[in-house]
Amino acid sequence: MNKLVTFFASAVIGVVLPQLVMAQGDAAAGQAKSALCATCHGADGNSQIPMNPKLAGQSASYLVKQLQDYQSGARQNATMTAMVASLSEQDILDISAWYASQEVTLGGADPAQIELGESIYRAGNEDIGIAACSACHSPTGAGNGPAGFPALGGQHEEYTLTQLRAFRSGERNNDASSMMQMTVERLTDAELEAVASYVSGLN
């Protein structure tokens, strides 16, 4: 257990320090610049399409990193790579600030999956060395902006599940110190589905 705590502490430090010096974005400017983003993510960042993530209420630091990762190729998605190709550093800061200033709409968890989803989210599984999701993403699902850990509460179940599976398979690997890959690699499909369902209604 101590090794697990030490690993997460060192990973957090590696993420937090760069975030402390990140420049600020202008939310008002970001609203105008996000017009094209609204096609998939909604005008206020609350996507109506379950496979597209809600961006409303997400931490600016996390959004900045994801957009930069799409530009650099660290995160792969043909549509997003094309969308961000022409964005300047200030564009990314402004768009991220706009979505961070919005309020996410909540979904609703499947009652049949709440018990399992809540157990993994809040307590993890010490027997197989799985840390609680809430340790990084907060008990309310609000995430940890300064550390760059995303908010999960209210996110579409379909999108969350797709990302969890991508981390588990290694298809997505742009997380700090492979924290997400290590966390989900031993979770079953049923467990991933339960967590994705649980966080969709978490607030």
Mean of the per-residue pLDDT values of the chain: 90
Confidence class for position 22, pLDDT limits 50, 70, 90: low
pLDDT of residue 12: 47
Q: Which amino acid is at 57?
A: G
> Which residues share a beta bridge with 125?
130
Cβ contact 25:93 at 8 Å:
yes
The pLDDT tens digits for 145-166 are 999 999 999 999 999 999 999 9
pLDDT at 13 exceeding the cut of 80 = no
* Paired tokens of 75: 């995160």
Of residues 170 and 6, which shows the higher confidence score? 170
pLDDT at 176 exceeding the cut of 90 = no
**Which domains, and CATH codes, for the chain?**
2-100 (1.10.760.10), 111-200 (1.10.760.10)
The pLDDT tens digits for 73-99 are 999 999 999 999 999 999 999 999 999
Cβ contact 181:166 at 8 Å:
no
Give the residue-averaged pLDDT of 17-42. 83
pLDDT at 6 exceeding the cut of 60 = no
Confidence class for position 103, pLDDT limits 50, 70, 90: very high
Supply the pTM of this predicted model: 0.87
Backbone φ, ψ for residue 90 (5° rounding): -70, -35
Taking the C-alpha atoms of residue 15 and residue 184, their distance in angstroms, rounded to an integer, is: 20
pLDDT of residue 128: 87
pLDDT of residue 126: 87
Taking the C-alpha atoms of residue 152 and residue 134, their distance in angstroms, rounded to an integer, is: 10
Percent over 90 (pLDDT), the chain: 82
pLDDT at 17 exceeding the cut of 80 = no
Taking the C-alpha atoms of residue 38 and residue 44, their distance in angstroms, rounded to an integer, is: 7
Taking the C-alpha atoms of residue 115 and residue 162, their distance in angstroms, rounded to an integer, is: 21
Give the residue-averaged pLDDT of 178-197. 94
pLDDT of residue 58: 97
